[in-house]
Amino acid sequence: MKLFKRFKGIFGRRDRGEKTSQSAIPFRLNFLLWVVALLLLALGVRLFYLQVLNGTSYKALVKQSDTTTETSNVQRGMIYDSTGKVLVGNQSHQAITYTKGEDVTDAEMYKIANQLGSYITVSTAKLTTRNEEDYYLGSSARLKKVEKMAGIKSSSDSAYNKAIKYLEKHPSVYKLTSSQKNKAMIYATMTGAYSLSTVNIKATGVTASELAKVGEHLSEMDGVKIGTSWTRNYPQGTAFKTLLGTVTTSGLPSDSENTLLAEGYSRNDNVGASYLESLFQSTLAGSKKKTEVSSSGSSTKSKITYAGQKGNNVVLTINAKFQKKVQSILENNYTSGISNSSGVYAVVMNPNTGAIYAMAGIDRNVKTGKKTTDEIGAINHAIVIGSVVKGATVMAGLMTGVITPSNNTLTDVPIKLAGTASKTSWFNKSGNADQSLTAEEALEVSSNSYMMQIAMKMGGMTYSSGAQITLKPSIFTKLRYYFNMFGLGEKTGIDLPGEIAGYKGTANQAHIGNALDESFGNYDAYTVIQLAQYMSIFANGGRKMQPYIVKQIRSTNPDGSLGKVLYEAQPKVQSVIDAPASYFKIVRKGFYLVTHGSSSYVTGSALKSVTPSISAKTGTAETVTNGTETETLSFVGYSPSSNPQVVVALAIPGASTSGSSGMNTTMAKEIFAAFWKYVKHNDTSSSSSSSD
């Protein structure tokens, strides 16, 4: 019985153990299955994240390790004149180029530069001292030598900079031969390039011998290729170059580097450096060519993924043949009485649209007498212009009511005020030619006295000989308000960089007498482009047109010819003068009398017989240059008188008071004749002598 109980106890315990073991196994198995399930779920989530959410980026990342994209520049767009003649084109050259690898080291580029430098010769004109120092230290042996000489122990970037500073202080340590300088220039070009960008090592003048040598060893110089480069050429001559601008030859200009980098350019890109080339850089540049380079083991394959697009073309309003003629007219007549003159400038403009037909100029160094072409001087040289502004003064008098169309007769007398020198008209300095003048007649004979009396009336002053001047500085503000209204003394908005507003003389009580000078154009300074806009307002009946020089932006056809129009300039009216037509009629009649009047004091009689008829205003401003009394000769005019189609404005600052008389009208006469010959045929139906 006891034995039975013992066995029962034993077996009873086994039964309980077996039951416990059997219940534990499913629990462990279930736990393991749950762990596996969670791991599989985590793996699934991770795969979803990698393949679905970020699959594209990871594929690109993998591909990037084997494939890189190189970029290279394309031809710039061209610049044409209004008749379709090429003013700025492209000339292709065989070139030696270098595409900087993604992981290339300075040591590798140093080796390639030395090898390439033994095959080609490049210009070292722009090689800097720092370029020479970098090349010298490009040799690890020379770098260690300099570090030892300078007592530099570490081999970090700071150590290299210390080595550079040591060479700067001890230039005798290194002295490059002409051959080494050649290689140093190549090395500088390579190291200065952006990763995966292509630069020209030698863009022009590559000889057949150089091409052969480089071609034979291309496989030994990674990144070096024989390619094509383009330089600007000027089929119509370089007379337009100042206006058209230039393109850099050694990368981005320092003054705009940060801006251009932000726009996506590389430091080694050549871009427009001045004027139209700079202003229309994004239009002319085009889009870069892209080449996908794939590496697999020792083989490399190239595939053009985007052929690039040549820059779009700019078409100007300027007529090339006429522009050349206007420039030659200035040159041929700007010869005598100019010892103190700083130049001559002219603008020819369509008064109804604002389009510029020609913009010419000569800058003259007063000290040396050297003359250079300077078309841009018409927008950035401020000149005390003289009597040509008198049309604006008359309009100011009419618009303020101090004179009216029916009551505008004033007597020309010398203006004598206490504390100021006598101010007179050119024909009445002694007071022996006192005469009553209407507004039209005052313009005909160019009366200074008439304009000064208008200014005094506008300032609330009644003139009497010898009286104290009671004008306030506000008279300057009033006069300038109306002058600005007619385009004088503020920027015209022409689509060229560098335009200035002119120059304003001091406008306080101490200079109050100069307000009288202001009224006849002998105080503030204006630009010739402002004169063209000013005269256009009278020619078209009161519309202030914004001058422009770019007519169209056009694409390029496959055959190289001008393609479709992408942009067409439209005439822009900046403002309309709020004045009755009767006011304009008075001034226009006065301008007609300047060239056709019967007074013995008429100033533009040299143009009387010209057809189509010319209405104009001449000007002479008294100036002092280098201590010598000089004068500015100026001219503004339009033609035909009854139906104006063209405005001519010009100025010759610092001309001699003798020996240069009539130079302004001679130039104007020849420019008008050239316009009808080269731009528009003489339409006899428009050549009426009517003065409105």
Question: Is a pLDDT exceeding 80 seen at residue 3?
Answer: no
User: Is 322:358 a contact under the CB 8 Å cutoff?
Assistant: yes
In single-letter form, the type of residue at position 571 comes to P
List the catalytic residues. 387
Least confident of 45-59, 428-442, 449-463: 45-59
pLDDT score for 507? 96
What H or E segment, with its residue span, contains residue 283? Answer: helix 281-285
pLDDT score for 471? 96
More confident residue, 227 or 651: 651
* Mean pLDDT across 302-311: 70
Q: What is the mean pLDDT of the chain?
A: 88
pLDDT score for 307? 57
* CA distance linking residue 512 with residue 17, whole number of Å: 123
* CA distance linking residue 514 with residue 512, whole number of Å: 5
* CA distance linking residue 364 with residue 352, whole number of Å: 33
Least confident of 152-156, 248-252, 353-357, 663-667: 152-156
pLDDT score for 66? 55
pLDDT score for 6? 45
pLDDT score for 9? 47
Q: 636 pLDDT band (50/70/90 cuts)?
A: very high
Question: Is a pLDDT exceeding 50 seen at residue 14?
Answer: no
pLDDT score for 315? 97
Question: Is a pLDDT exceeding 50 seen at residue 504?
Answer: yes
* Mean pLDDT across 137-142: 92
* Mean pLDDT across 392-407: 98
Highest mean pLDDT among 45-49, 138-142, 683-687: 138-142
pLDDT score for 56? 66
pLDDT score for 17? 47
Helix axes 528-540, 390-400, angle to 10 degrees: 50
DSSP of 203-231: -S---HHHHHHHHHTGGGSTTEEEEEEEE
Question: Is a pLDDT exceeding 50 seen at residue 159?
Answer: yes
Using alpha carbons only, give the angle 239, 318, 634 rounded to the nearest 5 degrees. 75
Question: Is a pLDDT exceeding 90 seen at residue 58?
Answer: no
At a CB cut-off of 8 Å and minimum separation 6, what does 114 contact? 183, 187
pLDDT score for 681? 66
User: Is 87:234 a contact under the CB 8 Å cutoff?
Assistant: yes
Q: Which of 150, 533, 530 is nearest to 354 (CA)?
A: 533
Express each pLDDT in 521-552 by its tens digit. 999 999 999 999 999 999 999 999 999 999 99
More confident residue, 558 or 434: 434
More confident residue, 439 or 248: 439
Question: Is a pLDDT exceeding 60 seen at residue 689?
Answer: no
* CA distance linking residue 242 with residue 313, whole number of Å: 19
Question: Is a pLDDT exceeding 60 seen at residue 445?
Answer: yes
* Mean pLDDT across 306-334: 91
User: Is 523:622 a contact under the CB 8 Å cutoff?
Assistant: no
pLDDT score for 673? 97
Q: 69 pLDDT band (50/70/90 cuts)?
A: low
pLDDT score for 663? 95
pLDDT score for 286? 80
Q: What's the CA dihedral at 423, 427, 431, 436 to 10 degrees? A: -100
Least confident of 137-146, 265-274, 567-576: 265-274
Express each pLDDT in 346-367 by its tens digit. 999 999 999 999 999 999 999 9
Q: 25 pLDDT band (50/70/90 cuts)?
A: low
pLDDT score for 558? 84
Provide the b/e sequence for 305-338 (b: ≥16 CB within 10 Å).
eeebbbbbbbbbbbbbbbbbbbbebbeebbeebb
Express each pLDDT in 171-228 by its tens digit. 988 899 999 999 999 999 999 887 777 888 998 899 999 999 999 999 999 999 998 8
Helix axes 320-333, 663-678, angle to 10 degrees: 160
User: Is 440:586 a contact under the CB 8 Å cutoff?
Assistant: yes
* CA distance linking residue 462 with residue 246, whole number of Å: 56
More confident residue, 261 or 431: 431
* Mean pLDDT across 578-605: 97
pLDDT score for 194? 78
| pTM, rounded to two decimals | 0.80
* Mean pLDDT across 513-517: 96
Q: 270 pLDDT band (50/70/90 cuts)?
A: confident
Percent of the chain with pLDDT over 90: 67
Q: 251 pLDDT band (50/70/90 cuts)?
A: confident
| Ordered domains of the chain (ranges, CATH) | 320-686 (3.40.710.10)
Burial level of 568, CB count in 10 A (0-12/13-18/19+)?
Answer: exposed
